Structure 1
Amino acid sequence: MKTVGIIGGSGFIGSHTTKKFLEEGYSVKVSVTDIKKSEKYKHLFNLENSDNLNISALKVEDLETLKDFISDCEIVIHGGTPFQLDVKDPQKELFDPTIKGTENFLTAVSETPSIEKVVIIASVAAYNTNFPMPAGGKTPHDTFSENDKPFMSEESHPYAQAKFLANQAVEKFISKHPNLSFEITSVSPVGVMGKSLSTREDSTSTGLQFLFKNKIAPNPFVQMLYDTNAEMAIVDVEDVAEAIFKAATISGLHGKNYLLSSESYPVSDLSLMLNHESPKNNPSIIYKNGMAQKELGMKFGPVQETLNNYSK
């Protein structure tokens, strides 16, 4: 039985990833930032094969604890960067844990002989920090793929900037270490939605679905999405977990970064579908998913099904 370490394995994406690896017969180690807050991870013990699950406290800024966490892993998934839109101190809340945490992580895995595969859960922001608005020079209906030049703006949300810079740190590490004994593969999901495995109320991803369903705007960023009726690309959280598993278990993907995306709809249509009503527009494919389909064997489910699952 191989061991996989999942940093951030109790979050929205992380929980589905943990579920997938447990179902596939792996021994799974999940890190949490505060072991005392059991409400954030207790749902994982309801999963199939949870006898093979171990929960550990970890902060990615702590290099020695990080090394200890991954010391017996063959596969490591790094999804432990914060996703939050309301930020008071971007440096402390986003840039340090995201960028320094990623740099620490890369140092730790490079010093761990057992590791065969590393998967980084990046973000569409690694390609376009303006998401869901178009990248500079593009219109809302222009397509975007892995072949497009990544776009970053200092006017973008700090979360997006932090994810972009963290991805650059990964690319720099790969180029500086051409003879690694393991593979590093990244996945960059667009707006991740669907059914949460936990009942936590502090998840940004499930929170966005709640906001769109009820047309609530708690901050200027969300209000901007309503005002522009932004064309938003969505991917199902279960499809993201499937792609992470495939990226971790298919060899020959070193240095790749896969966009994970299904269909795009205006925000007004997302609100309708979250209320089990039909969208007024036909879906489009703005963020291309061909590379993930071809090399990971992915099939992405329709957005209407994803949003219906959220409010079942």
Structure 2
Amino acid sequence: MDAIKNKVQQVLNPTSGNGKTVLVTGGSGFVAAHVLNSFLSRDYNVRTTVRSQQTAEKVKKSHEKDLDRLSFAIVPDVATPGGHDEAVKGVDGVIHTASPFVLQVEDNERDLLRPTIDGTSSVLTSIQKHNSTVKRVVITSSFAAIIDMDKGARSGYTYTEKDWNPVTYEAASNKESPGPVSYCASKTFAEQAAYDFVAKNKPNFNVSSICPPMVYGPAAHSIDSLDKLNTSSADIYRLMNGSEKTVPDTNFFAWVDVRDVGEAHVKAYESSEAAGQRYFTTAGGYTYNQICEIILKNFPELKGRVPEPKEEKFPDVYGVSNEKARKELGMSFIDLETSIVDQVKEFLALEKRSKA
């Protein structure tokens, strides 16, 4: 344990800002970078965990204007017991975003299930042991923890926060289980583990969870290469880089802009009503066909690179409701066209930079 603690390099926050400090785990991630922005824009001090000093330097680069209120704790492995012991000390709240978002892995249990579940349990245990002043922890969960994938398109049904993915651990850990099934399971079990932890251990803090579906929009983190995009950004870039010759089938018919996900975390953190609540933060339904239409409408010069959209109605699939997030968190949501246009502009700028 001492060896692990020695690897955790703690840098205390400065005393500027509103005097409140939150810890955001996994600060280099696509969603986490926007969570950082949302807290920093409200004048919080933010401490964030990263795996290495090299990653910390990347986060500094993407958040240069806020370095007086941004500091780092290096946690090489999010799932290591005690790995967050130093990081949680002295903060007023914790936002836990760090977990794998990959759909194809070698070993479902080793690469998805255990890191996600154990990472959540590790953070909560560290808070309970080393910080009695934290009152609110916000967990980044997912629509993956809501949807029942066995029900397929589920025409006529509307998913809400009341729904839980019914997948079993046995099915998800099976080596033959598809990656998306195991990913959805990992988010389900991790979110449930958080609420179970509170019920069992009765800590001084309560938990809220944010459940976004597919997350699109412009990045706030450093992107080294268009070949190394995060999973959801790569999902959009493939529709404009010429690699897809026809419009691919849509698998998840719900989406949200990443900037709204960042805002939802702050609103859940600040709201007393959000204690013990989960929030389905979705802007609504979408298809890849709609995205291709948006790209070609706004960037006609990309014709030939973008799959030709089909003339079709929105498919007869499940609906999604963001009523609770709108009512209790005061959320409003960026529309699909705005989100995709902003993201494509970013990709084009990255392409231009890479050719310079």
- Which of residues 71, 74, 80 in structure 2 aligns to 1:54? 71
Per the alignment, do residues 231 and 204 of structure 1 end up closer, same or farther by CA in structure 2, a change over 3 Å counting?
closer
Distance 2:148 2:115 in 1: 18
SS of residue matched to 2:289: helix
Q: How many residues are treated as equivalent by the alignment?
A: 299
SS of residue matched to 1:258: strand
Indicate whether 1:204 and 2:226 are aligned. no
Distance 2:115 2:100 in 1: 7
Indicate whether 1:83 and 2:106 are aligned. no
What residue in structure 2 maps to residue 184 of structure 1? 207
Q: Which stretch shows the higher mean deviation, 186-195 or 160-169?
A: 160-169
Distance 1:137 1:209 in 2: 23
What residue in structure 2 maps to residue 119 of structure 1? 138
SS of residue matched to 1:36: helix
Q: Which stretch shows the higher mean deviation, 244-253 or 197-206?
A: 197-206
Distance 1:276 1:21 in 2: 34
SS of residue matched to 2:160: coil
Deviation of 1:141 (Å): 5.3
SS of residue matched to 1:54: strand
- Which of residues 160, 184, 187 in structure 2 aligns to 1:160? 184
Residues 64-90 of structure 1 deviation map (CA, whole Å, 9 limit, x = unaligned): 330110111111000000111231222
- Which of residues 178, 199, 202 in structure 2 aligns to 1:175? 199
Which AA in structure 2 matches 1:125? A
The percent of aligned pairs where both chains have the same amino acid is 29
Report the TM-score when normalising by structure 2.
Answer: 0.76
Which AA in structure 1 matches 2:144? A
Residues 87-130 of structure 1 deviation map (CA, whole Å, 9 limit, x = unaligned): 12222221221011111112112222121210000011111263
Per the alignment, do residues 30 and 240 of structure 1 end up closer, same or farther by CA in structure 2, a change over 3 Å counting?
same
Q: Which runs of 5+ in 1 are unaligned?
A: 218-222
Indicate whether 1:194 and 2:217 are aligned. yes
- Which of residues 132, 142, 149 in structure 1 aligns to 2:157? 142
Contact 1:8 1:30 in 2 (8 A): yes
Matches within 5 A, 1:242-281: 242-276=263-297, 281=313
What residue in structure 1 maps to residue 116 of structure 2? 98
What residue in structure 2 maps to residue 220 of structure 1? none
Which AA in structure 1 matches 2:159? F
Distance 2:26 2:34 in 1: 11
Deviation of 1:62 (Å): 2.6
Q: Which runs of 5+ in 2 are unaligned?
A: 1-18, 172-176, 300-308, 346-356
Contact 1:194 1:310 in 2 (8 A): yes
Per the alignment, do residues 193 and 137 of structure 1 end up closer, same or farther by CA in structure 2, a change over 3 Å counting?
closer
Contact 1:84 1:204 in 2 (8 A): yes
Per the alignment, do residues 262 and 141 of structure 1 end up closer, same or farther by CA in structure 2, a change over 3 Å counting?
farther
Q: Which has the larger radius of gyration?
A: 2
- Which of residues 297, 301, 305 in structure 1 aligns to 2:330? 297
Contact 1:16 1:238 in 2 (8 A): yes
Aligned-pair Cα RMSD in Å = 2.6
What residue in structure 1 maps to residue 353 of structure 2? none
Deviation of 1:140 (Å): 4.7
Per the alignment, do residues 286 and 215 of structure 1 end up closer, same or farther by CA in structure 2, a change over 3 Å counting?
farther
Which AA in structure 1 matches 2:288? V
Per the alignment, do residues 72 and 39 of structure 1 end up closer, same or farther by CA in structure 2, a change over 3 Å counting?
closer
Residues 37-57 of structure 1 deviation map (CA, whole Å, 9 limit, x = unaligned): 4564243332x3321111221
Contact 2:223 2:229 in 1 (8 A): no
